[in-house]
Structure 1
């Protein structure tokens, strides 16, 4: 009788949220998770090889080989437990615009890390995911809220990531306006000065405190001042035409505060009342500058990355 070989497979599904980093004055340290998601399904079988299918945002742009951010995260997590992935089939479905300042690369990386841990039979530990993700990205302000959900302030102390999470206020929503052009983070980094004035550092320090206090105490009167920045937005404005006009339009329409999201070009406004007028005002302001933009009204995501299901 001819012998047959049973090929075992493991399937893991993971969801990771978009994030807005550099929140207001919180350059490289403060971010929030948003209700916009990247979903992946990973199937591991015996053998070797890699097959990637990408749908949604980024289709035709994300790498479909070993340079894919999801796959890199998966490989890193497997390496942490002492093994390499076997044959991988990876399906990616993302609603997060690429190179937009909404943490698409961090969502991909964190989803891969969580999937890799799950494939290896580990329950993904959030401290491990945070440490691995920051080691790969170099800064915590996207990775931390993607892992933990909510609003997260994080700092690097030597090789350790120190973080604190704030529950997202239920009354607040985020309006994001995404223009029809992209800004690569590497380019946005290059425009920043190596030195900053003491007055600008003090300006941001005070406003980070006000912003965090406003979130924690539910005192939304602090948010407009608390969302101001002098460390990166003034220099990055050259990469985001119309930014001053759109931010001003958001606040005039009722936003509690508005700022550049991540490295841009997306602009984000926090709203406690009706968000539709704010979204319309932001789109109109950009149209007035000759730039098409789409707007989205998003809840703040309570949960970070989630392993939704796995099995054999």
Structure 2
């Protein structure tokens, strides 16, 4: 029988969407948002994995061992030196895929947190280890850090691995995300950036990134100036022309609009709830295609995992 000591355990995992970069904070700043993927994971004594998906990705994402959540669970077990159990997953997804809201980071964090929960009392995992494992899977920490820890996160990497600082966002900050029907791969978005940028552009972004942290935690009235960017958004604009057009229109109207992650969704960081209603009105009036407005809050908890009882018939019924 496989599965080791965790066979028969079940956990519930909840992971927030994220928006990275926030304009000038390329590959460094990220924020957690109140839109969630939820996952139930049962460890079994039989090898292999079976995945049931409802919501976003239903009928599209793999439902076997190649599923990203499953791969993250397996990777975490192996990284901790534990035998990998059989797995039954029930995923209820709300985070859009390929839209710049951290769906792959959420899948990875879901798997890492599920492994942590299944191994409770067997292999304890601290926050640094969670971030390290998730970053190894994702490639960089700017999305996985806020997904793990919530709030606004500053992420950086040293020779010892990734680190983060979590900060509380000012209660006046009111996010709204506009999600188009089209998608854009992160790989494509990154390929459009140059290998180097002018010194003055780098200096510009350093100043705006510093200002953005202050704006988000203390002075929301500075968000428009703080979200200016010269490192990545203009280079990626040709891959998402309507996103670029809408961002320019919103910023001309005084709203702190940026590309969400790699796009093509756009994020408006309102300094009060009225601003995001104004943003929604402007997008509805000026957009050419359909955009879904998501009025969200900043998630403060990050990813959570709790044990869940296993009914005696659940494994065979699944």
Structure 1 length normalisation: TM-score?
Answer: 0.92
Task: Point out the more displaced range, 186-195 or 104-113.
Answer: 186-195
Q: CA deviation at 1:200?
A: 0.9
Matched, 1:61 2:57: no
Match of 2:178 in 1: 177
CA 1:124–1:168 in 2, change beyond 3 Å: closer, same or farther? Answer: farther
- For structure 2, the residue ranges without an aligned partner over 5 or more in a row are 1-5, 311-318
C-alpha separation in 2, matches of 1:277 and 1:88? 46
Match of 1:4 in 2: none
Q: CA deviation at 1:25?
A: 0.3
Matched, 1:39 2:68: no
Matched, 1:284 2:285: yes
Task: State whether residues 49 and 70 of structure 2, in contact with CA within 8 Å, keep that contact through their aligned partners in structure 1.
Answer: no
Task: State whether residues 50 and 88 of structure 2, in contact with CA within 8 Å, keep that contact through their aligned partners in structure 1.
Answer: yes
C-alpha separation in 2, matches of 1:124 and 1:306? 14
Match of 1:84 in 2: 83
CA 1:228–1:8 in 2, change beyond 3 Å: closer, same or farther? Answer: closer
Match of 1:132 in 2: 133
Match of 1:94 in 2: 93
Q: Deviations over 1:201-245 (max 9, x none)?
A: 0110000011011123x2123211110111110011111122233
Q: Deviations over 1:65-113 (max 9, x none)?
A: 2221111111122112212322211111111000000000000100100
C-alpha separation in 2, matches of 1:221 and 1:294? 26
C-alpha separation in 2, matches of 1:202 and 1:264? 24
CA 1:159–1:284 in 2, change beyond 3 Å: closer, same or farther? Answer: farther
Match of 1:303 in 2: 301
Match of 1:190 in 2: 191
Match of 2:315 in 1: none
C-alpha separation in 1, matches of 2:61 and 2:141? 22
Match of 2:113 in 1: 114
CA 1:124–1:17 in 2, change beyond 3 Å: closer, same or farther? Answer: farther
Match of 2:231 in 1: 231
Match of 1:3 in 2: none
Q: Deviations over 1:44-67 (max 9, x none)?
A: 111212110111111122122222
Matched, 1:220 2:220: yes
**Aligned partner of residue 16 in structure 2, secondary structure:** strand
C-alpha separation in 1, matches of 2:70 and 2:141? 20
CA 1:202–1:100 in 2, change beyond 3 Å: closer, same or farther? Answer: same
CA-based RMSD of the aligned residues comes to 1.7
Task: State whether residues 65 and 71 of structure 2, in contact with CA within 8 Å, keep that contact through their aligned partners in structure 1.
Answer: yes
Matched, 1:28 2:27: yes
C-alpha separation in 1, matches of 2:280 and 2:124? 39
Structure 2 length normalisation: TM-score?
Answer: 0.90
Match of 2:3 in 1: none
C-alpha separation in 2, matches of 1:174 and 1:89? 35
C-alpha separation in 1, matches of 2:169 and 2:307? 26
Q: Deviations over 1:20-54 (max 9, x none)?
A: 01111000010000000000000111121211011
CA 1:14–1:186 in 2, change beyond 3 Å: closer, same or farther? Answer: same
Task: Point out the more displaced range, 53-62 or 106-115.
Answer: 53-62
CA 1:8–1:156 in 2, change beyond 3 Å: closer, same or farther? Answer: closer
C-alpha separation in 1, matches of 2:269 and 2:150? 17
